[in-house]
Amino acid sequence: MKTQSFWEATTPQRPEFPPLEGNLDVDVAIIGGGITGITTALQLTDAGKSVAVLEARRVGGGTTGWSTGNLYVPTGAYYHKILDSRDKETMSSVAYARAAALDFIEHQTLQKQIDCHFARRPWYFFTEEENMVSTIEKEVDALQRAGMPIEFTENVPYLNQDGIRIAARMHGQARFHPLRYVLGLATDIAARGCQIYEHTTVFDLKEEKDHCLLKTQHGTVTCRQIVIATHIPIGIHTVQTVAAPHRSYVVAVRLRNDDYPDAYFWQNDTMHKAITTHSTDSMKLDMLMVAGNHHKTGQASHQEYQHYFNELEDYARKHFDVASVEYRWSAQHYRSGDGVPYIGLTHKDAKRTYIATGFYADGLIYGTVAGMLLSDMIVGKDNNWLKAFDATRGTNLATAKTFVKENVNVAAQYLKDTPFSADVKHLSEIAPGEGKTMEIDGEKVAVYRNPNNQLHACSAVCTHMKCIVHWNNAENTWDCPCHGSRFMIDGSVIEGPAIANLEQKQIDVSGEHLIEGEKHRSGQRDINNPIT
d(CA 234, CA 485): 10
Residue 359 DSSP label: B
How far apart are the C-alpha atoms of 516 and 490, rounded to whole Å? 17
For strands 353-357 and 434-440, give the pairing: unpaired
Distance from C-alpha of 329 to C-alpha of 279, rounded to nearest angstrom: 19
Strands 51-54 and 195-197 come out as parallel
Q: Which residues contact 427 (CB under 8 A, 6 or more apart)?
A: 438, 447, 449, 455, 507, 509, 512
Q: What is the pLDDT of residue 152?
A: 98
Confirm whether 6-398 and 427-514 share one CATH topology.
no
What residue type is 84 in one-letter code? D
Give the single-character DSSP code of 3.
-
Cα gap 365→348, rounded to integer Å: 26
d(CA 463, CA 469): 10
Return the CATH superfamily for domain 427-514.
Rieske [2Fe-2S] iron-sulphur domain (2.102.10.10)
- The Cα–Cα gap between 160 and 129 comes to 14
pLDDT tens per residue across span 439-473: 999 899 999 999 999 999 999 999 988 899 999 98
Q: How far is CA 435 from CA 18, 273, 301, 454, in A?
A: 33, 30, 12, 12
Ranges of residues in the chain with a pLDDT under 50 are 400, 402-404, 406-408, 410-412, 414-415, 518-532
**Distance, CA of 77 to CA of 85 (rounded, Å):** 11
Q: 98 near 355, Cβ under 8 Å? A: no
- Maximum Cα–Cα distance across the chain: 69
Q: How far is 236 from 213, CA to CA, in rounded Å? A: 17
pLDDT of 403 reads: 43
Please give the torsion angle defined by the CA atoms of residues 122, 128, 134 and 139, in that order, rounded to the nearest 10 degrees: -20
Q: Where are the beta strands (DSSP E) in 85-187?
A: 119-127, 150-152, 166-175
pTM for the structure as a whole: 0.90
Residue type, 411: A
Q: What is the pLDDT of residue 530?
A: 26
How far is the C-alpha of 194 from the C-alpha of 51, rounded, in Å?
5
Between helix 88-112 and helix 363-379 the angle, nearest 10°, is 90
Helix (H, G, I), strand (E, B) or coil at 44: helix
Which CATH code, of 2.60.120.10, 3.30.750.24, 2.170.130.10, 3.50.50.60, is assigned to 6-398? 3.50.50.60
381-410 pLDDT per residue, tens: 999 999 999 999 865 555 545 444 544 454
Q: How far apart are CA 221 and CA 475, in angstroms?
A: 34
Nearest by Cα to 199 from 14, 20, 41: 20
Q: What is the pLDDT of residue 528?
A: 29
Residue extents of the structural domains in the chain: 6-398, 427-514
